[in-house]
Amino acid sequence: MDGHRTTRRTVAARMTALAACLFVAAVFSCQKKGQPTGATSPAKPANGTLTIKGSDTMVQLTSAWAEAFMKARPEVEIAVTGGGSGTGFAALLNGTTDLCAASREISEKEKKQAEQKGIKPIEVTVARDGIAVVVHPQNPVGVLTMEQLKKIYTGAYTKWSQVGGPDEAIILLSRESNSGTYMFFQEHVLEKADYAQATRLMPATSAIVQAVSTDKTAIGYIGLGYAVEAKGKVKMLAVKAHEDAPAITPSEEAVKAGTYAIARKLYFYANGTPGGAAKDFVEFCLSEAGQKIVRETGYVTVK
Amino acid sequence: MIAAHWKDNVVRWILLAAASTSIVVVILIFLFLIKEAAPFAHHPGLRELFARRWNPVSFQKESFGLLPLVTGSLLVTALATAVAVPFGVIGAIYLSEVAATAERELLKPFIELLAGIPSVVIGFFGLVVLAPWVKAVFHLATGLTALTGALLLALMAIPTIISISEDAIRAVPMSYKEASLALGASPLQTIWRITVPAALPGIIAAVMLGMGRVIGETMAVMMVTGNAAIVTFSPFESVRTMTATIAAEMGEVPFGSDHYRALFWVGIVLLLATFAINLVAQKVLKRYRLAHE
């Protein structure tokens, strides 16, 4: 620039200025220590916008509910997001959602964190679900006991021949650890044991269906609704609660009657008793019309 | 020394600020990662990170060993590089030395297009098309393996390697080629024995930049590698990469928990690896440019 040479002093001055900017920025960010990134108080619906985050298992159901509700009440906007029950709880604790859709109960850890943040999680059962264990349609195994399922998924059994099938290694498929389905399966089928290290963690139910329908030695677990939808592509296994119990194929009746061993409730959690649009929405979901939608999307009604 | 007009100084400062933004942002990202990850050193302690198991969600015992994740990323990156280098370098040689101008005009846009395909789309293609293909060809029980992930990543690295290698090969002085041909070497001999070795530093830099892209790739690997956190060097087994771990688990993790901080450590390791690769690549490129001026 017109013969002006950049002296070492100028360079030093510029670098010092740069360092000063960094220092200020760092100090600024440190002052916010201890404050969670979300709002400290739960977000109130902005004039009729309702946010529901959480369970991937419930996302189709919640969307169907939301659509029907928005048709009846066009002034309310509902935003439904999946991401897993864990994501929903995290959002509830961070105040970034009005309702948390969860396919499992709130955990002790999450309850403690809620207490710390002054959040009061209120639970409402809105539907029921069964978890179907699925295999490839050509897999000769059709029945498994809960004990066998546990042994398979903890890695104690590694070959299909150990449960009456061909002499092939079992390919284990599961959801990711943020999924309510994962946690429920771990609690009720694995009895809190760890999954086998070689379990393949798939990012979504559709990925499990895709894999099971093409891999003859794969086994996976998915929500009943998805299993019913994927009827031709995968085969549902009948489950025996123990060796002498009858083998029950997962179905709506079996879940309602309580005979199917891997059944669970689906919940909505809110911070405190829901009011306004949230309250109306929850009431709609529990109503005759709402429960009809439950049946249509492949889940089981509460009553 | 001519005293600068004050307006020039102002402009200089503004330009300095604009240019420094990238440095400032990178340093701040690093500081942020360290700030969030640091408490892990107190409570579970850094030794936890060296365990052999990554089992962050458990009723029994939570393990935060980074080893399976690091080997997963390494395996997939190494395989992807092994596949991408032949295709990339030979493709670059073809484009710069052998192809006619018309061919080059046709091929280059498509290569750029390959680089531009979103990684989710490539992951989807991998899940539905490539995984069954790998399963059939190698007679595996399932296509969800490190190999499938590596093939997808190679697809993403090849355009990078081709572009930069091509530049490197083009930059070899004509005098080398002319001398070689004058001494009686055939064009092919000239390419393999003179041009490519002369362009080698640039090609190496290209490969490293391709690797840098590959190691940070998330969606495509998450969809096809099976995400099993095991320590293995077999391409036919499922692996879990560092990137897929962060993507899959960060959404749910309770803010401030051990798991949360462990994920930030994964981020730090990933960032350091990417930095190291890029730094070495830049150094090699710089030395290569100076040597050819």
Chain B neighbors of A21, CB-CB under 8 A = 20, 24
DSSP character string of B84-121 = HHHHHHHHHHIIIIIS-HHHHHHHHHHHHHHHHS-HHH
Per-residue confidence (pLDDT) for residue B71, from 0 to 100: 95
Q: Indicate yes or no: CB of A214 within 8 angstroms of CB of B56.
A: no
Average pLDDT in the B30-56 region?
A: 89
Report CB contact under 8 Å: B144, A183.
Answer: no
Per-residue pLDDT tens for A174-191?
A: 998 878 788 889 988 999
Model confidence at B225: pLDDT above 90: yes
Contact A90 B257 (CB under 8 A): no
Q: Taking a C-beta distance cutoff of 8 angstroms, is the pair B292, B175 a contact?
A: no
What pLDDT sits at residue A26? 64
> Taking the model in full, what pTM does it have?
0.78
Question: What does the pLDDT look like over A91-133, one tens digit per residue?
Answer: 898 889 999 999 888 888 889 989 998 899 999 999 988 899 9
Using the predicted structure, report yes or no on whether residue B90 has a pLDDT greater than 60: yes
Residues shown for chain A: 303
Q: What is the pLDDT of residues A43-80, one digit of tens each?
A: 444 456 899 998 887 888 899 999 999 998 888 899 99
Q: Looking at A17-26, A244-253, B134-143, B162-171, which range is the least confident one?
A: A17-26
pLDDT digits (tens, 9 = 90+) for A233-245: 999 999 998 888 8
Interface of B with A in 150-209 (CB under 8 A): none
Rounded average pLDDT over B253-265: 85
**Interface mutation target, options A200, A208, A212, chain B, most CBs of B under 10 Å:** A200
Taking an 8 Å cut-off on Cβ atoms, the answer to whether A201 and B248 are in contact is yes
pLDDT given for residue A2 in this prediction: 46
User: Residue B257: is its pLDDT beyond 90?
Assistant: no
Q: Rounded distance, CA B71 to CA A222, Å?
A: 30
Residues 198-217 of B with CB under 8 A from A: none
Nearest to B33 by CA among B289, B264, B287: B264
**Spatial CA neighbour of A285 closest among A45, A43, A102, A63:** A63
CB contact under 8 A, A218 and B142: yes
Whether chain A has a CB inside 8 Å of the CB on B57: the answer is: yes
CATH no., domain A49-128+265-296:
3.40.190.10
d(Cα A5, Cα B213) in Å, to the nearest integer?
Answer: 38
| Chain B residues within an 8 Å CB radius of A171 | 141-142
Contact call for B252 and A1, based on CB within 8 A = no
| Of residues A30, A93, A198, nearest to B230 (C-beta) | A198
Task: Answer whether A86's CB lies under 8 Å from A180's CB.
Answer: yes
**In sequence order, which residues have a C-beta less than 8 Å from that of residue B252 and are 6 or more positions away?**
A83, A84, A85, A86, A87, A89, A90, A177, A178
Where does A129-263 sit in CATH, by number?
3.40.190.10
Contact B95, B166 (CB under 8 A): yes
The verdict on B240 touching A (C-beta cutoff 8 Å) is yes
3-state secondary structure of B204: helix
Residue B245 has pLDDT above 90, yes or no: yes
Contact assignment for A216 to B229 by CB distance below 8 Å: no
Distance CA A228, CA A254 (A): 14
pLDDT at B292: 60
Q: How many CB atoms lie within 10 A of CB B158?
A: 24
Alpha-carbon span B39 to B257, nearest angstrom: 10
Cβ within 8 Å of residue A236, ≥6 positions away = A132, A133, A134, A227, A249, A250
* Closest chain B residue to A191, measured at CA: B59
Q: How far is B264 from chain A (nearest CA, A)?
A: 16
Strand A171-175 to strand A49-54: parallel, antiparallel, or no bridges (unpaired)? unpaired
Q: What are the CA-CA distances from residue B204 to residues B82, B156, B164, B215, B285 (Å)?
A: 13, 17, 10, 16, 8
| Residue B20 forms contact with A (CB below 8 Å) | yes
Could you count the other beta carbons within 10 Å of the beta carbon of residue B173?
Answer: 11
C-alpha distances out from residue B248 to A277, B123, B252, B253, Å:
32, 15, 8, 10
Strand partners, A62: none
The answer to whether the CB atoms of B127 and A210 lie below 8 A apart is yes
pLDDT digits (tens, 9 = 90+) for B105-148: 999 999 999 989 999 999 999 988 999 999 999 998 888 999 99
Nearest chain A residue to B223 by CA: give it: A203
What phi and psi values does residue A84 have, to the nearest 5 degrees?
Answer: 105, 150
**CB-based contact (8 Å) between A21 and chain B?**
yes
In B64-83, the residues whose Cβ lies within 8 Å of chain A are 68
Nearest residue to B149 (alpha-carbon basis) of B127, B118, B132:
B127
Residue type, A103: S
Share of chain B above pLDDT 70, in %: 96
pLDDT of residue A30: 59
CA atoms of B222 and B240, how far apart (whole Å): 8
Residue B47 — φ and ψ, nearest 5°?
-65, -30
Query: Taking CB atoms and an 8 Å cutoff, what residues of chain B touch A168?
Result: 141
Give the residue on A whose Cα is nearest the Cα of B20: A18
Collect all residues of chain B within an 8 Å Cβ-Cβ radius of residue A25: 24, 28
**Is B135 close to A214, i.e. CB distance below 8 A?**
yes
Query: B8 and A178: CB-CB below 8 Å?
Result: no
Confidence grade of residue A38 (pLDDT, cut at 50, 70, 90): very low
Count of other CB atoms within 10 angstroms of residue A200: 24
Q: Which residues of B touch A36 (CB under 8 A)?
A: 255
Q: Decide if B31 touches A, using CB distance below 8 A.
A: yes
Taking the CA of residue A288 and the nearest CA in chain B, the distance in Å comes to 33
CB spacing of A90 vs B127 below 8 angstroms: no
Could you tell me where the beta strands, DSSP code E, fall in chain A?
Answer: 49-54, 77-83, 99-102, 121-135, 143-145, 171-175, 200-202, 218-223, 235-236, 238-240, 263-271
Q: What is the pLDDT of residue A40?
A: 38
- A128-147 residue pLDDT tens: 888 999 999 999 999 999 99
Which segments of chain A belong to CATH 3.40.190.10? Answer: 49-128+265-296, 129-263
Q: In this model, does residue B46 exceed pLDDT 70?
A: yes
For B160, residues 6+ apart whose C-beta sits below 8 A from its C-beta are B88, B115, B206, B209, B210, B213
Percent of chain A, pLDDT > 70?
90
> Of B53, B75, B79, B57, nearest to B65 (Cα)?
B53
Is residue A172 helix, strand or coil? strand
Nearest-angstrom CA–CA distance, B278 and B255: 31
Core vs surface per residue B251-267: b (16+ CB within 10 A) or e: bbbbeeebbbbbbbbbb
Place of tokens 């249509």: A296
Residues B187-210 pLDDT 10s:
889 999 999 989 988 899 899 989
Tokens standing for residue A101? 């859709």
Mean pLDDT of chain A: 85
Residue with tokens 């939301």: A66
Provide the number of CB pairs (under 8 Å) joining chain A to chain B.
Answer: 131
Could you give the percent of chain A with pLDDT greater than 90? Answer: 39
Residues in chain B: 293
